[in-house]
Structure 1
Amino acid sequence: LATRMRLIKKAYQQLTVDDATADAQTIITYSGAFRVKRLQFGISAAPGIFQNVIDKTVAGIQGVLPYFDDILIAASDEKELANRLETVLHRFAKAGLRLKSDKCKFCLPPVEFLGFEVDATGIHPAKAKVQAIQDAPTPKNKQQLQAFLGLLNFYHSFLKNKATVAEPLHRLLDKNARWTWTGKHKKAFIDVKRLLSSDAVLTHYDGKKPLVLVCDASPHGIGAVLCHKLSSTQEIPIAFYSRTLSATERNYAQIDKEALAVIAGVKKFHEYLYGRQFTIITDHKPLLGFFVPKKETPQILSPRMLRWSILLNAYDYTINYRPGKEIANADALSRLPKQSTENNGSHNPTISRFTERILHE
């Protein structure tokens, strides 16, 4: 069950500012100068300040997710939800924050939040967003195709077979490719739409269930799937990840590409993996001799592999081999991942600081 609440309109103006800020916000009108004592819209720092205040207000309350003026409260049953809601309301009252009553919805079995529908079974793409993708017209040029794939990539965590299906579309976006829309592109465009349906579901993360990270690499990309292990034969996905290799990375030996897939997957899902035990699955047996936890790192490794091995030492993991035909999810993602050659984690300050600390200690 969930409750969704929204703060009143002009939520920023619920926050008072100090005298120096009030002076800086002074406005001049035909009626004179007015010193503004509350946070105003249009100030570049306002969104960050507001989010920080809301985060601190609900800090420590489980099941509460604030996003600016939108607050989601989730729980496993009505009693737990009522207790969490009461705590949130008390804190809001103490902080002087007011809610918009007609925007508050209580005890919702499914709830739509930030473009996703959340219920007891897991996380689904919102039906309206799915329909918008299904109704997208055939692109007439590279810009329109990029816009469509960008919209689709918002839900990339649900698209386990996008790598294979979207290949002709991505090839059209290559730097030197000429725009020629053929039958294979039309088929790929239709098929990639079918990948995303409102029936797609990712399971909720559960800190008590075993974690498995399945990784794989192809000549042009890397892929990873973070799963919960339910039994010896059943794994359910929490999220999918993939990206293309840069020109330099395409020249790596296969073992380096497979190792890169592991490192990229670990960095991508750092918040899930760090501080708890998990299993890495690879279809490249030689990695088992290099990335062995609690064992001295072989001195024959290249500097790059040595750095990666040291980075993995910060995690509590085991690594197992599984034949490629049994890791189809990660393999499909690696065959043609989403069009991105960024070094995963470089945009995340937490990951960057963590990586720098580990590699320089």
Structure 2
Amino acid sequence: DILIYSPTEIQHREDVHRVLTRLQQHRLIVQASKCQFGVREVKYLGQILAGGMRRPDPEQIEAVQCWKEPTNVKEVRAFMGVANFLRPFVPHFAHVAAPLHALTKKQHPWKWQEEEQQAFDKMKQAICSTATLYLVDPTLPFIVQTDASDI
């Protein structure tokens, strides 16, 4: 996959031409049917990218909404795989996911109780109500906070 961002249309045409020329020089082929040129929004790796922001693909959100309660470790791992992909959009992901993550460890016996159900429900809720993420404005001051938790 190749994404080309340019600040202006003129620059974009030049950048696209330069990339296509380089591909041609190396005998690499792109299928025109799979190309999009000059678009302001693109679906890429399960995310929608547009104008300095990114948000989860609505299809990903719908898949999580419809996800059934796991009945075994394999199903928890599958859910956590999708959830991890959406991790940047979920505040306090590690804390919320901890009971589910514990179930995926080999030494942890399978038990689906209230704590695991609550974690599953919270994860689904958090994923389905995700916020859009925006690029930072480098002209503004940054405040960095860190947490030395055990999670």
**TM-score between both structures, scaled by the size of structure 1:** 0.37
1:88 aligns with 2:32: no
Identity of aligned residues (%): 31
Amino acid at match of 1:98: I
Contact 1:168/1:188 (CA < 8 Å) preserved in 2?
yes
Equivalent runs, 1:34-183 vs 2, <5 Å: 70-173=1-104, 176-183=107-114
Change (3 A) 1:81 1:199: farther
Q: How does 1:1-361 map to 2 (within 5 A)?
A: 70-173=1-104, 176-197=107-128, 199-204=130-135, 210-218=141-149, 220-221=150-151
Q: For 1:79 and 1:144, how far apart are their aligned partners in 2?
A: 49
Distance 1:198 1:101, change over 3 A: farther
Distance 1:148 1:209 in 2: 37
Amino acid of the structure 1 residue aligned with 2:95? T
CA distance in 2, matches of 1:100, 1:182: 50
Q: CA deviation at 1:131?
A: 2.0
Question: What SS does structure 1 have at the residue aligned with 2:2?
Answer: strand
Contact kept? 2:64, 2:128, Cα under 8 Å: no
Q: CA deviation at 1:174?
A: 5.4
Deviations 1:34-60 (A, max 9, x none): xxxxxxxxxxxxxxxxxxxxxxxxxxx
Relative distance call for 1:87 and 1:212 in structure 2 (3 A) is farther
Give the match's secondary structure for 1:196.
helix
Q: CA separation in 2, counterparts of 1:180 and 1:154?
A: 25
C-alpha contact 2:89 2:131 (8 A) present in aligned 1: yes
| Residues matched between the structures, number | 151
Q: Are the counterparts in 2 of residues 111 and 119 from structure 1 also a CA contact under 8 Å?
A: yes
Offset at residue 111 of structure 1 (A):
0.3
Superimposed CA distance per residue, residues 267-322 of structure 1 (whole angstroms, 9 cap, x where no aligned partner): xxxxxxxxxxxxxxxxxxxxxxxxxxxxxxxxxxxxxxxxxxxxxxxxxxxxxxxx
SS at 1:140 equivalent:
coil
Residues 89 and 130 of structure 2 are in contact (CA less than 8 Å); yes or no, is this contact kept in structure 1? no
Cα distance, 1:190 vs structure 2: 1.6
Query: Kindly tell me: are residues 164 and 94 of structure 1, through their superposed partners in 2, closer, same or farther at Cα, counting changes over 3 Å?
Result: closer
Q: Is the 8 A contact 2:48 2:56 kept in 1?
A: yes
CA–CA separation in structure 1 for the residues paired with 2:26 and 2:138? 31
Tell me the amino acid that sits aligned with residue 116 of structure 1.
Answer: Q
Measured in 1, the distance between the counterparts of 2:32 and 2:106 equals 52
Partner Cα separation in structure 2 for residue 211 and residue 91 of structure 1 = 38
Select the structure that is richer in helix.
Answer: 2
Larger Rg: 1
User: C-alpha separation between the residues in 2 aligned to 1:198 and 1:71?
Assistant: 29
Q: Deviations over 1:99-120 (max 9, x none)?
A: 2111111121210112221111
- Gap regions ≥5 residues in structure 2: none
Q: In the alignment, is the contact (CA less than 8 A) between 2:49 and 2:55 conserved in 1?
A: yes
CA RMSD of aligned residues (A): 2.6
User: 1: CA distance between counterparts of 2:34 and 2:129?
Assistant: 25
Aligned mates of 1:113, 1:174 — CA distance in 2 = 31
Q: Which amino acid aligns with 1:126?
A: D
- Which structure dedicates a bigger proportion of its chain to strand? 1
How far, CA to CA, are the matches of 1:93 and 1:170 in structure 2? 46
What stretches of structure 1 of length at least 5 have no aligned partner? 1-69, 222-361
Query: For the residues of structure 2 that align with 1:95 and 1:115, how far apart are their CA atoms?
Result: 29
